[in-house]
Structures are given as C-alpha cells and as structure tokens.
C-alpha cells in the first residue's frame, strides 16, 4: 500500500512504500499532523488518519497515567519520610544503630 504525502503549502509529493514506513517517519517528526495524505481521490490531514488518531489518544492516556503514578509514589515516599521522622527513636533502636541505654548528645 503506497501512500502519497505532501505538505499543506507544498506542491511536491512524497511517496511512502508502506504504512510501517509512514509510522516511522511520523514518529521521527518528518511527517507532521497538518501534512496531507491521499486517501482515494481526496487529501486528508495526517493527524486525522484513524491509526494516527488512535496513537495520539494512547499517548495522551499514557502521559496522564504516568503523571498520576509519579504523584502517588511521591506522596507515598513523603508519608514514609514523615513516619520515620516521627518514630526516629524506635527506628534507630530496631536497626541496632542506637544501643540500649545510650545517651543522647542533643537533648530532646
């Protein structure tokens, strides 16, 4: 399946041999969303092609998922740090860093 692609203001056309090659050029930025692709007798924006539109929706969804996952892990880490700070004496005794009966250099 050969695809004809041209820029919106340009007259020259680029012939692409396969859809796989088209996607490779799309992902590398050679083909932009406003470039035109010939579908039958009419020209369609590359961003409006069904397989490209689906990729854009998936990328947007993946970006949101990554944001919320990062935020949740940051909050979990913050809660862990706050818990360790609040229970530092017990954590130090359990870890063996503070032997029983040791004196504190700094008063509480």
76-81-85-90 Cα dihedral, nearest 10 degrees: 80
pLDDT of residue 77: 97
The pLDDT tens digits for 15-73 are: 888 888 888 888 888 888 888 888 888 888 888 887 777 777 777 788 888 999 999 99
Full-model pTM: 0.49
Residue 100 DSSP label? T
User: φ, ψ for residue 61 (rounded to 5)?
Assistant: -65, -40
Query: For residues 7 and 74, what is the distance between their CA atoms, to the nearest angstrom?
Result: 44
Residue 104: which pLDDT band, with cuts at 50, 70 and 90? Answer: low
Helices (H), the chain: 19-28, 50-86, 88-95
4 neighbors 13 (Cβ within 8 angstroms): yes
**End-to-end Cα, the chain, rounded Å:** 76
pLDDT of residue 8: 72
pLDDT of residue 78: 97
Measured CA distances, 11 to 16, 41, 80 (Å)? 16, 17, 61
For the CA atoms of the chain, what is the radius of gyration?
Answer: 29
């Amino acid at each position: 399946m050969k695809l004809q692609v041209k820029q919106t203001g340009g007259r020259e056309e680029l012939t692409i041999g396969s859809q796989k090659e088209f996607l490779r050029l799309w992902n590398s930025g050679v083909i932009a969303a406003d470039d035109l692709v010939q579908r039958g007798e009419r020209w369609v924006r590359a961003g409006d092609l069904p397989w490209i539109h689906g990729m854009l929706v998936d990328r947007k969804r993946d970006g949101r998922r990554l944001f919320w996952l990062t935020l949740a892990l940051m909050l979990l880490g913050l809660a862990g740090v706050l818990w360790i700070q609040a229970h530092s004496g017990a954590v130090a005794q359990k870890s063996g860093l503070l032997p029983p009966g040791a004196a504190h250099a700094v008063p509480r």
